[in-house]
Each structure stands twice: as structure tokens, then as C-alpha cells.
Chains A and B, each alone.
Chain A
């Protein structure tokens, strides 16, 4: 396919933009007065209230931004995983008469399971550590519905100045993330055999 490199670059570009900066950008896009996306979405009848200050939609708004910002990375990860699958397997399947869907279902996805697991773990860890986007886009609101773990640590330590409590929360978070990392090591320990 021609221009494939161009498409890849475009999809990946948001990854190099800082999470803080892209959050600021999307606050503007979702602003109910001047935001283009709010304007379009409300004209389409998708939303009636301001996106980021309404329960239910505030989390969705943040998720849209995070997907825009990070999906390029997951794409590259899966791309590298797919390139590692030997082409002989596909050739053999084609000779056996397999069409596109069965090939994806029975060759690509099973052989990609380590990469998919890796992408999943990275997303989960990243979500556990989410702070910038919630701090900037929703401020934890409305009604504390979007306060994350790190946000809570930040508030405990630097808003209420309960530094001991904050440190304890930090350590707890570390335990959870270490458990996830161990899980990652277990899942990804053995190299893929094709």
C-alpha cells in the first residue's frame, strides 16, 4: 500500500505530544462555548450538557482524548508483533485455501497474544497512573467522580498536606503496580514460538 508510512506517522503523531498539552487542547475542543467538538456533537444531538462537567460524559471525554493520544503507540506495538510472524504461515494457509477472515482469526490473533497481552498491561498500568488528564480536564469532578489514585495521592499530599497519608497511599500504589509487573513477567516470560 502506498503512503502507508504517511498514515503511520499521522496516527502516531499524538503520542509525542505531552499528556498535559493534549489535555489542554481537548479541554478547548470540549468547551461548551468555543469548542468545535462540543459544537458539532451538540448539533448532532449527541450531547446536551457540557461534556467535561457532566457526570457520565466527563469520563467519556477524557477517554476519547486518551485514545487519541495513545492508540498510535498500541498500533506500533501490534505492528511490530505482526511483522514478527513468519510469512510462511500465511503462504501455507493460502495454499490450503484459507481466506482473509480465517487467517486473521486462526493465525494472526493467536500468534499475537503476547503482544496483545503486553498492550493490555501497558494500558492498565497507564490508567492506574493517570493524573494529568483528570487534573486538567475534569479536576476530579463532577462530584469527585473522576478522581484517580494518583490524583488522590496528589490531593492528600499537596492540597491537604497530609504527607504521611500520601506516602502510605504511594506505597500501596507501588504494591499494586509491582503485582501487575510480576504478572507481566509471568505472561511474557516465554518467547513466542511460531
Chain B
């Protein structure tokens, strides 16, 4: 009896320690975001206090209302980010679905070579063709446009997305195609009516990934956008961080950070499964 009790006592102790460690790490992970959020609710003077005070004396949305009038207004920058992200998502989803369908269901000369070429472009990171890309965009007069930026984002999102969509289509049994053909479906109807609903998880994954990547994109936006009213959120925040007359408005900054984190955080919490499976697939290739 004594032995059993001691054994289970040790087990309880172990589980408590495990939870303690997990909670401690979780606390450290949430802390930066939590502090930032709390500070965004402080009064501006309170947020700039040195040394920092842990908890706000009063809670206020003042930092957020001031963001409405920062530069061209937060809605302008939020809108820019949203336009770039949505254009990227729409083109990535449209092109990768069609390409994936083509690579999976049709045979044409040079198909394998073409697919391998797409896979090879996966290896080329955006950063390493930065300067040539800048020159190309300038020649095409697409530099300093939101469309140009979304085209760049699309280009770098596509290889992975085509690969994902081809795999999605490949996992659908061909018997379905044959059954649909007997029912009188041509290749267009086969895609839109039969296959698309089945590969929907793949479409969501590809779209979600494109959105997050585009929303968080920093370097391309920094280089390609030169007019202040075209800045996306990260670039606008960087500008706010650089400060007005050398002083940084920290409360405003935290409000801006919260707003730029929010869309991706919500999407991730809702669609976690898709996002993680895409990350894994993208890294293993």
C-alpha cells in the first residue's frame, strides 16, 4: 500500500512540475504581446513613462483614436496592406489551382520538366534576387505601386502553392474523374463541380499562407514603395518608430503593432490546422 501511494505521489509531483514548466514558458511567450497590448491602452504620457510602470493608471483608447489621424490615417495603411494581401491571395489561389489541376490531370509535352523548374524556383529566395527584381519593376513602371508589390509577393508564393495544389489534386482518386465523365462533365465542369469542393482544404491552406506572407512582408515593401501614402502597415510602423523630431510615441506604436498583429493572429487561431500543415509541407517539400 505504502509503495503504491508513494509512486502515485511522485507522479503527481512530476505532472505538477511539467505543468509548471509549460505555464512558465507560455507566460514568457505571451508576455511581450500582453505588455504591448496593455501599453496600447495606456494614456500617451503613461506609455512614455521612464522607468516604465507595469500597469496603466487608467485604460483609454486614446492611442487608437490618435492612430486614425497618424500620417494618412491608419485606415489608409491598413487598406494598403489589405489590398496587397488580397490581390496576392486571389492571384495565388486562382493560378495555383489551375496549375495544380493541369499538372495533375493533363499530360502534355514537357510537363515534368516544367514542374521540376517550378520546384527549382522554390530554392531561390526573394532576398537573393532583390536588386535585379528592383530593376525589372522599375522598367515596367510597377515600382512604387501596390499592384507591383502584390505581383512580387505572388511570384514568390506561387512555386510552393502550385506544388501544394498539385499534391491536393493528386490525392483525389481518378475514379471520380471517370464517373464525372460518364455523367457528361467536361474538364471545366470536372474542376468546378467535382474536384474543387474536394481540394478545398488545399485552397484554404494556399490562400491563408499567401495572406500571412503578404501581410507580414517587409523588405519588398520597404524597397518598392516610396510614397508615404502607399506604405503598408510594417513600413508605416517603422516610420512611426523612427520618430517625429527624435521622440518616439510609444503608446501609438503599441496600438499600431496590435492592429497589424490582429488579422494574422485571428486567421491563425481559426485556421491553425491548415497553416501548420502548409508550413510543414513547405519545409519538407
Q: Is B131 at the interface (CB under 8 A from chain A)?
A: yes
Report yes or no: B264 in contact with A11, Cβ–Cβ below 8 A.
no
In this assembly, does B200 line the interface, its C-beta being within 8 Å of a C-beta of chain A?
Answer: no
- Expressed in whole angstroms, the minimum distance between the Cβ of B54 and any Cβ of chain A is 8
Q: Interface readout for B183-217 with A: 1 if CB under 8 Å, 0 if not?
A: 00000000000000000000000000000100111
CB pair B132 A132 closer than 8 Å = no
Whether the Cβ atoms of A13 and B265 lie closer than 8 Å is yes
Contacts of B130 in A (CB 8 A): 150, 153-154, 157, 166, 170
Instruction: Decide if B109 is an interface residue (CB 8 Å cutoff).
Output: no
A80–B218 contact, CB under 8 A?
no
Q: A17-B264, A21-B257 given as contacts; is B131 within 8 A of A29 (CB)?
A: no
Chain B residues within 8 Å of A10, by CB: 26, 29-30
CB contacts (< 8 Å) of A135 on chain B: these are: 222
Q: How far is the CA of A132 from the CA of B218 in the complex (A)?
A: 7
Are B265 and A17 closer than 8 Å at their CB atoms? yes
User: In the complex where A16-B275, A166-B130 touch, is A39 in contact with B124 (Cβ < 8 A)?
Assistant: no
| Residue A28 lies at the interface, judged by CB distance under 8 Å to chain B | yes
B129, A18: Cβ atoms closer than 8 Å: no
Assess whether A20 is interfacial by the CB under 8 Å rule.
yes
Task: Verify A25–B36 contact, CB threshold 8 A.
Answer: yes
Contact call B264/A16, Cβ cutoff below 8 A: yes
CB-CB contacts below 8 Å: A110-132 with B: 118, 122, 125, 129, 131-132
B114 at the interface (CB under 8 A from A): no
Interface residue B127 (Cβ < 8 Å from any Cβ of A)? yes
Q: Evaluate whether A27 and B283 lie within 8 angstroms (CB atoms) in the complex, with A17-B261, A68-B32, A132-B218 already known.
A: no
How many residues of A are counted as interface, with CB atoms below 8 angstroms from the partner's CB atoms?
A: 60
Spot the interface stretch: A45-53, A55-63, A101-109, A174-182.
Answer: A174-182
Q: Contact mask A8-50 → B, CB, 8 Å, 1/0?
A: 0111111111111100111111010111100100000000000
A138 to B15 alpha-carbon distance, docked (Å): 42
**Residues of chain A from 60 to 117 with CB closer than 8 A to chain B in the complex:** 68, 72-73, 76-77, 80
Question: Are A122 and B127 touching (Cβ within 8 A)?
Answer: no
Residues of chain B contacted by A169 (CB below 8 angstroms): 131
Contact A181:B283 (CB < 8 A) given known A9-B269, A18-B234, A34-B52: no
Interface size on B, residues (CB 8 A): 59
Which B residues are CB-close (under 8 A) to A9? 269, 272
As a 0/1 sequence over residues 220 to 256 of chain B, the CB contacts with chain A under 8 angstroms (1 = contact) are: 0011000000000110011001000000001001100
**Interface members, chain B 1-56 (any A CB < 8 Å):** 18, 22, 25-26, 29-30, 32-33, 35-36, 47-52, 54
- State the B residues within 8 Å of A (CB): 18, 22, 25-26, 29-30, 32-33, 35-36, 47-52, 54, 123-125, 127-132, 134-135, 212, 215-219, 222-223, 233-234, 237-238, 241, 250, 253-254, 257, 260-261, 264-265, 267-269, 272, 275-276, 279-280, 283-284
A-B contact pairs, 25 of them (CB 8 A): A1-B18, A3-B22, A6-B26, A7-B22, A13-B29, A13-B268, A15-B279, A18-B215, A18-B264, A19-B218, A21-B216, A21-B257, A34-B47, A34-B50, A76-B276, A76-B280, A129-B125, A129-B127, A131-B127, A135-B222, A167-B135, A170-B131, A173-B127, A174-B129, A181-B123
Identify the A interface with B (CB < 8 A): 1, 3, 6-7, 9-21, 24-29, 31, 33-36, 39, 68, 72-73, 76-77, 80, 118, 122, 125, 129, 131-132, 135-136, 150, 153-154, 157-158, 163, 166-167, 169-171, 173-174, 177-178, 181, 188
